[in-house]
């Protein structure tokens, strides 16, 4: 089951684990030590950021990645990011039974 948390993050769960995936758009710059091919520029790629044993742990990692990756300088900004993450998870899981989300 793939659950899109926001425009940049997806949680992909199967019977054994949940993957936290970040969507990236290929740009003309150099990434991972080499320049991007011209035909790949503008395409979207999926990068698995982590493997987790449950949906809950993947969502906790999503919150951690979003707060650590921010340029926030105040506690209020971090709280706002955390609230946005929690709201994104709630919106993404609407309509999914509680047993599916907490089955691991």
Q: What is the pLDDT of residue 104?
A: 47
* pLDDT digit string, tens, across residues 81-101: 999 999 999 888 887 766 555
C-alpha 60: how far from its chain's center? 10
What tens-digit pLDDT sequence spans the chain (104 residues)? Answer: 899 999 999 999 988 999 999 998 888 776 666 777 788 788 888 999 999 999 999 999 999 999 888 888 889 999 999 999 999 998 888 877 665 555 54
Total structural domains within the chain = 1
Check if the beta carbon of residue 42 is closer than 8 Å to that of residue 26: yes
Helix segments in the chain, DSSP class H: 55-68, 75-92, 98-101
Domain range for 30: 2-101
């Amino acid at each position: 089951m793939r659950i899109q948390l926001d425009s940049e993050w997806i949680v992909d769960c199967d019977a054994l684990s949940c993957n936290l995936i970040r969507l990236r758009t290929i740009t003309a710059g150099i990434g991972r030590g080499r320049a991007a091919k011209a035909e790949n520029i503008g395409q979207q790629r999926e990068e698995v950021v982590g493997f987790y044993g449950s949906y809950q742990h993947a969502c906790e990692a999503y919150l951690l990645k979003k707060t650590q990756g921010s340029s926030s300088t105040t506690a209020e900004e971090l709280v706002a990011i955390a609230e946005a993450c929690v709201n994104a998870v709630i919106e993404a899981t609407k309509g999914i039974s509680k047993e599916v989300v907490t089955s691991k």
